[in-house]
Every structure is written in C-alpha cells, then in structure tokens.
C-alpha cells in the first residue's frame, strides 16, 4: 500500500514528538515507540495499491502550492479493535481543496479502485496520530495536559511544508514536494 502524506514544519514536528514522548513516559501507547526511520508526524491524504510515475508527476505539481497553513485543534479518539489517540487537524479551504485534488488524482490512477474509504473527502477526519493501542491501554486518560506546551500558539499553528509517499511493502518513503523532475 502506498500513502500520500503531508509533513509539518519543524516546530510542529517537535511539538507532536514531545506529546509522543510524554505518552511513552507515562507507559501509554505512543508513536514514539515506532523506531523505524520513516516514522514521523504526518497527515495522510490518500492511499492506493500503487502510485505510478505519472501520478507522482501530477502530485508534485499539486504540491507546488506548499507550504500551506496547519492548525491543530484538540484531541480525537478513534475506536475499534485498535484505538487511536490523535491530534485533530482543523481543515481550512486550502487543505480541503488540496485533499480533494490528491484524492481525485489517486482515485483516477488506481487500477484496483481500492482506496481507503475513510480518506474519501466526504468522510475524512484530518489528524496526526499520537498513539495506537488496545482500548484498555488508555483507560480514563485525560490527555488534554499532554498537548499543552510552554508556547501553545507555536504548537497549534504551523505549516504543511513537504509532501511524501510511503510504501508499506518496502517501508520506504519518497519526496512528492515540488522540485526538479
């Protein structure tokens, strides 16, 4: 599976990693425990079985408008077999339009048509994952204090500065940000 992701600026990356560390220090599920070099804070826009070269070219053009504003906005919990604690991303018109464009490009190029329905623009809940675990691992956690930092304005507002793809089969990433083709 290949995913198309946005990456935050350095200050936002540090703020998210700080929350990852705080969760881990409390013995709670945290993305900090995933030590693979590709693991970093990101926002997933679309997934597909494959991303052909022509899709990469289209996506690089689409991401020519980076950077775009980023706003973190409270915590979310997603339930299921695995529960996810995430920092909500408040989508503005720029991010919503970028997401719809990426979704369309990937959907039109997907030979199997197998796209993650949770990333469909109608259902998409933009977020940055903080931790994943069994529902019992979280208990009655009040995670609010975990996201409070010394400079709340720096941690809640930032910019999406880069785009990448992640290949889950090879566990590698590649740049989709604009640059020489």
Q: What is the pLDDT of residues 6-28, one digit of tens each?
A: 999 999 999 999 999 999 998 88
State the chain's mean pLDDT as an integer. Answer: 87
What is the domain partition of the chain in residue ranges?
2-139+149-175
pLDDT of 70 over the 60 cut: yes
Q: Which of 33-37, 91-95, 172-176 has the lowest mean pLDDT?
A: 33-37
Q: Which of 73-77, 84-88, 147-151 has the lowest mean pLDDT?
A: 147-151
Arithmetic mean of pLDDT, 111-139:
84
Which pTM was predicted? Answer: 0.89
pLDDT of 153 over the 60 cut: no
- The answer to whether 157 and 71 have CB atoms below 8 angstroms apart is yes
In degrees, rounded to 5, the angle at the alpha carbon of residue 69 between the alpha carbons of residues 157 and 45 is 110
Q: How far apart are CA 181 and CA 165, in angstroms?
A: 16
Q: Determine what percent of the chain is predicted with pLDDT higher than 90.
A: 61
2-139+149-175 has CATH 1.10.1060.10 classification: no
pLDDT at 142: 57
pLDDT at 26: 86
Q: What is the pLDDT of residues 95-114, one digit of tens each?
A: 999 999 999 999 998 766 67
pLDDT of 50 over the 90 cut: no
């Amino acid at each position: 599976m290949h995913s198309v992701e946005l990456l935050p600026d350095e200050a936002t990356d540090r703020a998210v990693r700080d929350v990852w560390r705080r969760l881990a220090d409390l013995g709670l599920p945290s993305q900090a425990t995933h030590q693979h070099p590709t693991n970093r804070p990101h926002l997933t826009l679309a997934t597909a079985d494959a991303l052909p070269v022509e899709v990469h070219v289209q996506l690089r053009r689409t991401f020519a408008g980076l950077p775009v504003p980023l706003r973190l906005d409270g915590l979310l919990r997603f339930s299921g077999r695995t529960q996810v604690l995430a920092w909500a991303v408040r989508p503005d018109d720029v991010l919503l339009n970028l997401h719809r464009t990426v979704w369309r490009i990937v959907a039109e190029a997907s030979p199997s048509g197998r796209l993650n329905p949770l990333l469909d623009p109608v259902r998409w809940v933009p977020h940055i994952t903080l931790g994943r675990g069994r529902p019992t691992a979280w208990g009655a956690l009040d995670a609010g204090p975990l996201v409070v930092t010394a400079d709340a304005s720096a941690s809640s507002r930032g910019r999406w500065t880069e785009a990448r793809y992640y290949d889950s089969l090879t566990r590698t990433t590649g740049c989709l940000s604009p640059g020489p083709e």
